[in-house]
Amino acid sequence: MRTFSKQGLFFGLALVGALFSGSNTVEAAEGAASHYLAGANGDIFLATAPQPGFLAANTFWYQSGNAGRAVLSGKIDLDLEVSTFLNLTALTYTSETPVFGGTYTFGAVLPIGRVGLDLSVSGLPRGTRTRSLDTSNMADLVLIPAQLNWTSGFWSYKLAEIVIAPTGAYDVNKNLNIGLNYWSFDTVAAVTWFDPSKGLEFSIAPGIMVNTENTATNYRTGTEFHVDFTVNQFVSANFAIGIKGYYYNQIVGDSGTGALLGDFKGEAFGIGPGFVWVPEAGGGKVTVLGKWLHDFASENRFDTDTYTLTAAFKF
């Protein structure tokens, strides 16, 4: 039976995808927005340690969806349709020196994107009216100060702290912003089981995201629980197909004087197909990954379809 090696597959992609700052993508948060992106913790080997050295990756991320209501810049908006495109450039470094018996990685992700929004706005002096908005700019920067990975046999484990800084474009007088104007702190764990003789992998990555208040609107998005998962089967030494998915649950309601809809929580589940390709021409230093996630259930959230395509390069 062919043995499938993990060499040349870029395990740091869990960092590449980790909590990219987005735009208006979930309903039960301010501006129908959250720093958590569904399925963003990776497409393969979510807990396996990256190889030492630098890893660069670029992800094209597109999402479209619709929702019933949300609060934007202190107004209640109804019947929203959103389309979001992000270009996410990540750079990570993995040290050869062990830390707490594990592999230590740090890095950052720079997101630049465009958001389009069609909405019916209420609470205006002239009543309710329909508007189409769009904006393009830099979104909020993702910092990965610490990720630790451990491996024992077929099992790998990860613990990471991720910080999203309010560096993206934001204007409280606009109904649509690509930056969110608050900090988020996400603690993520992950477990991977991989049998190289079978080319079969199972991974799961739960996390808890805590958000600070948007001081411009006195709105604090509640604490969010999320789980990303993936199952991959290698059909050759260089190509795998799989199932990707996520579960999201806002476990603490929104708060602050700007939370006009009150204690407003969201929950959703999505799943879809994906692939991993390590082209022979790249000599094991290039990996291409893609997936499609479809929301099968959602409450107080956008119903969305999400598409990603990632190219990673090992230095």
Q: Where are the domains of the chain?
A: 13-314
Q: Output phi, psi for 251, to 5 deg.
A: -85, -15
Q: Measured on CA atoms in the order 222, 59, 11, 45, is the torsion positive or negative?
A: positive
- List residues bridging with 235 in a β-sheet: none
pLDDT at position 66 is 78
pLDDT band at 31 (very low <50, low <70, confident <90, very high): low
- List residues bridging with 188 in a β-sheet: 160, 207
Rounded distance between C-alpha atoms, residue 227 and residue 229, angstroms: 7
Half-sphere exposure of 175 (CA within 13 A, CB side): 22
pLDDT at position 81 is 82
Quick one: how far is CA 234 from the chain centroid? 24
Interval 74-99: pLDDT, tens: 655 566 788 999 999 999 999 999 99
Model pTM score = 0.84
CATH of domain 13-314: 2.40.128.130
Interval 198-222: pLDDT, tens: 999 999 999 999 999 999 988 888 8
